[in-house]
Amino acid sequence: DQQVKQNSPSLSVQEGRISILNCDYTNSMFDYFLWYKKYPAEGPTFLISISSIKDKNEDGRFTVFLNKSAKHLSLHIVPSQPGDSAVYFCAASAGVGFGNEKLTFGTGTRLTIIP
Amino acid sequence: KAGVTQTPRYLIKTRGQQVTLSCSPISGHRSVSWYQQTPGQGLQFLFEYFSETQRNKGNFPGRFSGRQFSNSRSEMNVSTLELGDSALYLCASSLDQRDTQYFGPGTRLTVL
C-alpha cells in the first residue's frame, strides 16, 4: 500500500528552466510534508518542508506547493542547475499522537539537468 | 557539528548469517530512525528510538530489531539474513519527533 506516490521515476530538464516534481498521497491524516534530495552513495538531504496549514513554502530556488483537496504536492526548482541532478524523495507524516510520526517516503524521481 | 555517521559503509554477508549496523546521531539528537532503501520500494521505515525506547515500528519481520544506548547511539540487527535483505540501510536523527530528520550515508548490505 503505497501511501505516498511519485509517479514519474525520471525527469530531464534543460539547465535554467523550471523543474517540477510531483507527489501524490492517499492518507488524509498526513499533515506535514518534506522533500529530500539524494546523491549516489550519500544519505538523503533535507530540502524543504510544508505544513498542511500552508499551501506554499519557498526557500531560495525551491518552492513547494500543497493542494490538500487533491492530496497533491509539487516541488518547483527555478532556475534548474546541473548540481540539482539527483533523486528527489517526497515524504509525509501524520499528526503527533496518531502513531504515525514516522516519515512515509515516495519511491523517488531521478532529476537530470541537461547543460 | 558532525553529521550522522554509520558503520560499516559496506557489508557482504551470506544467507542465514546475522548482521549488526551502527549509527551515531548528531550530537544532541535523541531520536534515531532506521530506513531500508531498495530500488523498487524507495525508503521503508523500520523503527524509531527515543531515549532508549522504541516508539514506532514499521512493517518488517521480527528478524529486524534495534536498540538505542544512553548516548543516543543506535544499532540495528538483522538475523537469519535472506537475499531480499540486500539494501541500503539508512539511519536518521532528529531532536525529537516531527523535527527535521538528518540522514547518514547509509550501510550498503549485500546478502549472497
CB contact under 8 Å between B106 and A43, yes or no, is: yes
Best residue of B32, B101, B107, B108 to probe chain A, by most A CBs closer than 10 Å: B101
Give the HSE-up count for residue B95: Cα atoms under 13 Å, Cβ half-sphere: 3
Is A34 an interface residue toward B (CB < 8 Å)?
yes
Q: What's the 3-state SS for B82-97?
A: CHHHCEEEEEEEECCC
Q: Which of A23, A59, A102, A110 to mutate to test the interface with B (most CBs of B within 10 A)?
A: A102
User: Does the CB of B45 have a partner CB in chain A at under 8 Å?
Assistant: yes
Q: Shortest CB distance from A105 goes to which of B43, B55, B100?
A: B43
In this prediction, residue B5 carries a pLDDT of 96
Which residues does chain A have with pLDDT short of 50?
Answer: 98-100
Residue B3 has pLDDT above 50, yes or no: yes
Asked if A99's CB is within 8 angstroms of B97's CB, the reply is no
| Cβ pair B100:A34 closer than 8 A | yes
How do residues B25-70 score in pLDDT, each as one tens digit?
999 999 999 999 987 778 899 999 998 999 888 889 999 999 999 9
CB B3 within 8 A of CB B101: no
**Partner-chain contact B42 A106, CB within 8 Å:** yes
Handedness of CA A83, A43, A56, A22 (dihedral sign): positive
pLDDT tens by residue, A103-114: 889 999 999 999
- Residue B97 pLDDT > 80: no
How far is A49 from A80, CA to CA, in rounded Å?
Answer: 19
Write down the pLDDT at residue B56: 84
- For chain A, the maximum distance between any two Cα atoms, rounded to a whole number of angstroms, is 46
